[in-house]
Structure 1
Amino acid sequence: MSVMKKVLNFYINSSLHLAFSVTALAVISVLQFQIELNSTVLLFIFLSTITGYNFVKYAGLAKLHHKSLTGNLRGIQVFSFFSFAGLLYVASLQSEKVLWITVLLGIVTFFYAVPFLPNQTNLRNLKSLKIFIIALVWAGATVLIPLINQHPIFEQSVLLSFFQRFLFVVALTIPFEVRDVIYDEDHLGTLPQLLGVENSKKIGYILLISFVVLKFFIETVTWIQFLPKLITALAVGIFIYKSTKKQNRYFSSFWVEAIPIFWLALEVIVYWLL
């Protein structure tokens, strides 16, 4: 394996790519509500994403196979430790409001991975909840946390933005659900398992249409301000259409996860044009 491919795999597997995507969505909220860009809050979101996702993905594996970890997984474990250490420091700089929301989202993330229900069941294994729990946490992390210090979060525009982000993340997750349908256990009841791949894609298109239309209920926008959302929705729709059970390993884990970064780039271009 080439050095560049090893670096790319580490970048994806360590959740760095995902953290940039989640942080990009947080910056989009900052631009949308025209509040001050708080670098410590964004760093907090970035490090929280790495720590949370790597805990979900690797904690159980590390516990069970500590002595047989591959070099790559050991590297991710070390990287996650330093990310967590950085997170503790950055957390000390946050307001109580940010920390309270983070605690609530953190509890959901913790029980997503750790069994606490009868028959050693966690939230991830509850039928049909997986995709919606992910969307709930993403929406909270990328809408509520960036805004709470500078903007009332119970205003209609914020609540609609939260719901809009929720719909977007559910749609964005569908290519992953399609990819994993041959690996997921039947009891998970994912959308492709319950509805089939094609019907799940149709649900995704409906969610994207709702995501676009909701923009007009949140604020009055010019056509150029509306364009980034429309282009982003079209991009997600194309990836949903192209998604199959047998995907290139980077189709979802790199390209689909990069869409929020692409969306942010479009928003920044429009921001500077205006």
Structure 2
Amino acid sequence: MRILKQFFDFYLNSSIHVALAVCSLSWIVLIKHDVFYNEKVLLFTFFATITGYNFVKYFGIAKFHHRSLTNALKVIQIFSFFCFLLLCYYALQLQIKTLIFIVVFGIITFLYAIPFIPKKMYLDHQQNLRDVSGLKVYVIALVWAGVTVFLPLIEANISFNADVYFLAFQHFIFVIVLMLPFEIRDLKFDSLKLATIPQKIGVKQTKIIGLVLLIIFFFTEFFKDELSQNEIISTLLVAVITAFFLILTNKKKSYYYSSFWVESIPIIWLLIIMLH
């Protein structure tokens, strides 16, 4: 049982689960554009997510506490290194125009973790985008929307139209709502200077805003030129499932509630679409 828990914790802490969530959103976009599967772009996205997330999460720890890293973190470091090598392997198989797009979002991810702005504009002496007051959730949503919508379509040589931008908008909103349970969970840990949404308006108002965003997420479907009953139903189901998890969120929920169950919603969305 203990070994099983250690494996599960590694699965979450090494960002494998979040990588599957990101890949699920990318795969959904491909399916919606009649491309059932693209191994190169999905595997690149998977390994890039693991590399990027672990870089952001553990850069400070590795930099300042390298000698005192726990065995678990050392294993994650080694795992991330091999994921980086696989990232490079699959990147070399992508088109030049796709790589240019990737570089842009790679820079955003880099700036998210690395100090680069004058200290007077920052908080807690952390000069990176991750700690800019109120910015964290929007940066993550922007990167997720870009990587999961535009990246697979660029590689598939599918031109952008209004429906693509509406889909990117939906993913942006969806990811913001997915982040809210994490922000509510972390209320007792986050610095007040971070100015997260729950810190600024409270848990109850945060949930209300999340529900409003989910309504917008669903009704955006009707602005698209190409409507299908299956997509409307799947979008509604995902909105309801996400609303359910958001409503049940509170500061006392366990780490696994948000890091596993909430993060599983994109995977559930993919399964819903595949079963239709």
Q: TM-score, normalised by structure 2?
A: 0.95
Q: Does structure 1 conserve the Cα–Cα contact (< 8 Å) formed by 2:21 and 2:265?
A: yes
Q: Cα offset for 1:151?
A: 4.3
User: How far apart are residue 142 of structure 1 and its match?
Assistant: 0.3
| Most deviating of 70-79 and 220-229 | 220-229
Q: Do the aligned partners of 1:112 and 1:122 also contact (CA within 8 Å) in 2?
A: yes
Q: Is 1:9 matched with 2:9?
A: yes
Q: Which residue of 1 aligns with 2:203?
A: 197
Aligned to 1:240: 246
Shift of 1:152: 4.4
Distance 2:189 2:254 in 1: 15
Please, which of 228, 237, 258 is the counterpart of residue 231 of structure 1? 237
Is the partner of 1:247 in helix, strand or coil? coil
CA contact (8 A) 1:144 1:153 kept: no
Q: Deviations over 1:145-188 (max 9, x none)?
A: 11013344541111111111100100111100101111111111
Which of 205, 223, 231 is the matching residue for 1:217?
223
Q: Mean alpha-carbon deviation: is it higher for 45-54 or for 218-227?
A: 218-227
**Post-superposition, which runs of at least 4 consecutive aligned residues in structure 1 deviate over 4 A?**
none
Is 1:126 paired with 2:127?
A: no
Spell out, residue by residue over 1:204-227, the C-alpha distance to the aligned partner (whole angstroms, 9 max, x if none). 001111110011112443433321
Backbone CA RMSD of aligned residues: 1.3
Contact 1:98 1:145 survives alignment (8 Å): yes
Percent identity between the aligned chains?
Answer: 46
Q: Spell out the pairing of 1:63-102 with structure 2 (5 A cutoff).
A: 63-102=63-102
Query: Secondary structure of the residue that 2:98 maps to in structure 1?
Result: helix
Q: Report how far residue 246 of structure 1 moved.
A: 1.6
Q: Tell whether the 8 Å contact from 2:111 to 2:128 is kept in structure 1 after alignment.
A: yes
Deviation of 1:144 after TM superposition, in Å, equals 0.5
- In the TM superposition, what are the counterparts of 1:129-208 in structure 2 within 5 Å? 129-208=135-214
Q: Per-residue CA shift, 1:187-216, capped at 9, x if unaligned?
A: 111100111111111110011111100111
Contact 1:179 1:245 (C-alpha < 8 Å) held by counterparts = yes
Runs of at least 5 residues in structure 2 that lack an aligned partner in the other structure:
120-125
